[in-house]
Amino acid sequence: MVAPPEGVVGEGFFATKLNDVVGLARANSLWPLPFATSCCGIEFMATMASHYDLGRFGSERLSFSPRQADMLMVMGTIAKKMGPILRQVYEQMAEPRWVLSVGACASSGGIFDTYSVLQGIDKIIPVDVYVPGCPPRPEQILEGVMKIQELASKESFRRRESPEYKKLLNSYGIE
C-alpha cells in the first residue's frame, strides 16, 4: 500500500498539496519503454516475469510507442549507428520523461571499448538513474525503477520549465 502524501486528515476529508498528489500519481503509474539490445534485455525480461513482477510498481504496461511512455529504459550495448535512433525516441517522448540506463554497456560502453560502440548513452541523452552491473540482477533493475519513482514523486510541476532544465537539454542540443 502506498502511503498518502502529507496533509490534513479528518473525518471524511483529506487535504494536501496538488504537487504531492500529482507526484504520487506519476510515481506509481510509470509506463516504461524498453530499448533492450543485449544481455541486459534478458535480465529485464526476468524482471517483468512473475517472480520479480515490475507490475507491483505500477509499470505493468510496457509502451513500445515513445508518445505513450514516460520512462525510457536503455539496456545493453548501443552502437554509434543506433545513437540517432535512441535520441529520436527520447525526443518523441512527452514531458515529463525519465531515463534509466541499465548495465555497464549502456552506462559506459562496458567491455566494448571500440570505434563502433557508444561509450555511454549520456553522450546523446540525459540520464536520470544508472543501474550498474554486467548484466545487472533483476533486483538492481527494480531498485533503479524505485529511484525513478522517488524522482517522479518529488519533482515539482515547474522543474521542467526551469532555466536549469532548459540549459541541460540545450547542452545535448535538444530544444
Please report, for the chain, the start and end positions of each structural domain, with discontinuous segments joined by +.
28-141
Q: Class of the 28-141 domain?
A: alpha beta
Listed residue (75, 78, 79, 59) closest to 135, CA to CA: 75
* Tens of pLDDT, residue by residue, the chain (175 residues): 567 667 776 676 677 788 888 888 888 889 999 998 888 888 888 888 888 888 888 887 888 899 999 999 999 999 999 999 999 999 999 888 999 999 999 999 888 989 999 999 999 999 999 999 988 999 999 999 999 999 988 888 777 788 888 888 888 888 7
Listed residue (37, 35, 104, 106) closest to 72, CA to CA: 35
* Residue linked to cell 533493475: 141
